[in-house]
């Protein structure tokens, strides 16, 4: 088996990617500096992101059609798990909002703290960098999560997570759109996985703000979650 | 009386949302209902007075009103059925696309020099 020679050999970083040509080379390079095993899941990009990510050193898994961020993450997780020496899977955004330093600390937390999942939170220590409108929506998301899953979190919609192998195997994302964040939390609650929140700093740039989902999308997320509850479990 | 029937119809439609994966039985049922609906349509065209009688039986003044109520219920069932089947189709599409993506990626990985295996 390959030996990357570092202490993060058993960590795979999954970056769901859709049309991030301008930032993905930098993002991939900065992640690979610490975590060489980086997978970009190209969700049907049309701007050449896939080639750029590959040139920057990431392994690229290409969806033949655009399926949604949830589907991209699930694909990345399955690819990571296909290697038996993978112990941790990290979900990391492609737009440059997340910090690699936070990932390092979260992975250490997962190792040392013996938890299945480490969830990034903007609100454990302040959260002043979060735009006010967003903060309101996120607070609603927290309340919603508390009611529906029982999980008491401070940030229920953060894309930065560390899953150990057990968590990655257990969680199955079926909702392909943005509702995956809530679906992952539901999965944690239902399977009794151990979890912990960890403070992270999100960098809001004009680019990432422009790319971010519009607030009204919470309607779609709620609808997806409710509809999923009604649909029978599929084999 | 009609209110009871309509309410029951709406509740059944809601209940059907919870049912399991579509099976041959469900498909046959849907087809039978469709055939019966067509038969009922033919009858009501040929014997409009009959429709009025049935309407009066369940407490509705006019035959056309009854047809309207039945139409609304039918619309509800059809819409929900289509939504369910569409969602199921989408899920299968995602699984299929993922298989294609993973297979291609595994194949690419297999042809790379050893150091690059992710």
Instruction: Name the minimum distance, in Å, from the CA of A56 to any CA of chain B.
Output: 13
pLDDT, one tens digit per residue, over A125-147 is 877 888 888 888 899 999 999 99
The whole-number pLDDT of residue B117 equals 52
pLDDT, one tens digit per residue, over A190-214 is 999 999 999 999 988 888 877 777 7
Measured distance CA(A117)–CA(A115) in Å, rounded:
6
Q: Across-strand partners of A161?
A: A91, A119
Average pLDDT over residues A184-189: 95
Least confident of A80-89, A110-119, B9-18, B52-61: B9-18
Percent with pLDDT over 70 in chain A: 95
A45 touches chain B (CB under 8 A): no
Using CA coordinates, name the residue in chain A closest to B114.
A2
The whole-number pLDDT of residue A233 equals 46
Residue A22 DSSP one-character state: T
The whole-number pLDDT of residue B22 equals 65
Q: How far is CA A205 from CA A22, A23, A131, A158, in A?
A: 13, 11, 11, 16
A3 pLDDT more than 60: no
Three-state secondary-structure class, residue A230: helix
Least confident of A11-20, A85-94, A109-118, A218-227: A218-227
Q: What is the mean pLDDT of chain A?
A: 90
Instruction: Name the minimum distance, in Å, from the CA of A151 to any CA of chain B.
Output: 26
Taking residue B49's Cβ as centre, other Cβ atoms within 10 Å add up to 9
Tens-level pLDDT at each residue, chain B (118 residues): 788 888 888 888 777 766 655 677 778 888 888 899 899 889 989 998 999 998 888 888 888 898 898 899 889 888 888 888 888 899 999 999 999 999 999 998 888 765 555 5
Kindly list the residues from chain B whose CB atom is less than 8 angstroms away from the CB atom of residue A174: 91
Q: Do residue B19 and residue A2 have CB atoms under 8 angstroms apart? A: no
Kindly list the residues from chain B whose CB atom is less than 8 angstroms away from the CB atom of residue A12: 118
Q: Minimal CA–CA distance to A222: which of A117, A106, A144?
A: A144
CB-based contacts of B60, cutoff 8 Å, min separation 6: B2, B66, B69
What number of C-beta contacts closer than 8 Å exist between A and B?
A: 66
CB-based contacts of A202, cutoff 8 Å, min separation 6: A97, A98, A122, A129, A130, A158
A232 pLDDT more than 50: no
Nearest by CB: B117 against A2, A61, A67? A2
What ipTM score was computed for the predicted complex, to two decimals?
0.88
At CA A216, angle to CA A212 and CA A222, rounded to 5?
105
At CA B98, angle to CA A212 and CA A208, rounded to 5?
10
Q: Do residue B20 and residue A83 have CB atoms under 8 angstroms apart? A: no
The whole-number pLDDT of residue A2 equals 46
Residue of A15, A64, A183, A225 to mutate, interface with B, max B Cβ within 10 Å: A64
Instruction: Name the minimum distance, in Å, from the CA of A172 to any CA of chain B.
Output: 12
The whole-number pLDDT of residue B88 equals 86
Kindly list the residues from chain A whose CB atom is less than 8 angstroms away from the CB atom of residue B17: 230-231
Residue pointed to by tokens 């004009």: A206
**Runs of H (alpha helix) within chain A:** 24-32, 49-55, 69-81, 100-113, 132-149, 165-170, 180-191, 206-211, 218-230
Measured distance CA(B106)–CA(A61) in Å, rounded:
9
At CA A39, angle to CA A109 and CA A196, rounded to 5?
20
Residue of A79, A173, A180 to mutate, interface with B, max B Cβ within 10 Å: A79
Q: Do residue B101 and residue A74 have CB atoms under 8 angstroms apart? A: no
The whole-number pLDDT of residue A1 equals 41
Q: Do residue A234 and residue B101 have CB atoms under 8 angstroms apart? A: no
Q: Do residue A232 and residue B19 have CB atoms under 8 angstroms apart? A: yes
The whole-number pLDDT of residue B114 equals 56
Measured distance CA(A208)–CA(A212) in Å, rounded:
6
Average pLDDT over residues A85-98: 95
For residues A153 and A231, the answer to whether their CB atoms sit within 8 Å is no
Nearest by CB: B118 against A59, A65, A176? A59
CA A109, A105, A69, B110: dihedral to nearest 10 degrees? -90
Nearest by CB: B118 against A37, A65, A71? A37
Instruction: Name the minimum distance, in Å, from the CA of A28 to any CA of chain B.
Output: 14
Average pLDDT over residues A151-162: 94
Which of the four pLDDT bands, split at 50, 70 and 90, describes residue A216?
confident
A63 touches chain B (CB under 8 A): yes
The whole-number pLDDT of residue A235 equals 40
Centroid of chain to Cα A67: 16
């Amino acid at each position: 088996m390959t030996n990357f020679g570092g202490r993060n050999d058993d960590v795979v970083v999954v970056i769901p990617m859709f049309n991030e040509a301008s930032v993905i080379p930098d993002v991939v390079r900065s992640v690979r500096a610490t975590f060489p095993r980086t997978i970009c899941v190209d969700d049907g990009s049309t701007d050449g992101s896939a080639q750029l990510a590959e040139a920057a050193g990431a392994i690229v898994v290409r969806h033949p059609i655009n399926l949604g961020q949830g589907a991209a993450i699930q694909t990345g997780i399955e690819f990571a798990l296909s290697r038996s020496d993978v112990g941790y899977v990290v979900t990391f955004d492609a737009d440059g909002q997340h910090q690699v330093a936070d990932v390092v600390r979260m992975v250490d937390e997962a190792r040392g703290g013996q938890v299945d999942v480490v969830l990034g939170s903007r609100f454990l220590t302040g959260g002043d960098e979060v735009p006010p409108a967003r903060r309101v929506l996120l607070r609603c998301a927290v309340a919603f999560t508390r009611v529906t899953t029982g999980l008491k979190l401070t940030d229920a919609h953060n894309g930065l997570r560390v899953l150990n192998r057990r968590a990655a195997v257990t969680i199955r994302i079926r909702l392909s759109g943005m509702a995956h964040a809530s679906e992952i939390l539901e999965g944690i609650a239902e399977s009794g996985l151990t979890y912990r929140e960890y403070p992270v700093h999100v960098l809001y740039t004009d680019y990432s703000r422009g790319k971010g989902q519009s607030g009204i999308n919470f309607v779609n997320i709620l609808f997806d979650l409710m509809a999923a509850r009604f649909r029978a479990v599929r084999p | 009386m009609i209110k009871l029937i309509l309410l029951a119809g709406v509740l059944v439609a809601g209940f059907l949302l919870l049912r399991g994966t579509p099976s041959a039985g469900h498909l046959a049922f849907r087809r039978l209902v469709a055939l019966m609906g067509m038969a009922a349509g033919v009858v009501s065209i040929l014997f409009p007075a009959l429709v009025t009688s049935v309407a009066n039986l369940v407490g509705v003044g006019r035959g056309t009103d009854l047809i309207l109520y039945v139409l609304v219920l039918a619309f509800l069932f059809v819409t929900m059925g289509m939504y369910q089947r569409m969602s199921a189709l989408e899920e299968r599409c995602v699984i299929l696309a993922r298989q294609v993506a993973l297979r291609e990626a595994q194949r690419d990985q297999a042809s790379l020099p050893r150091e690059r295996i992710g």
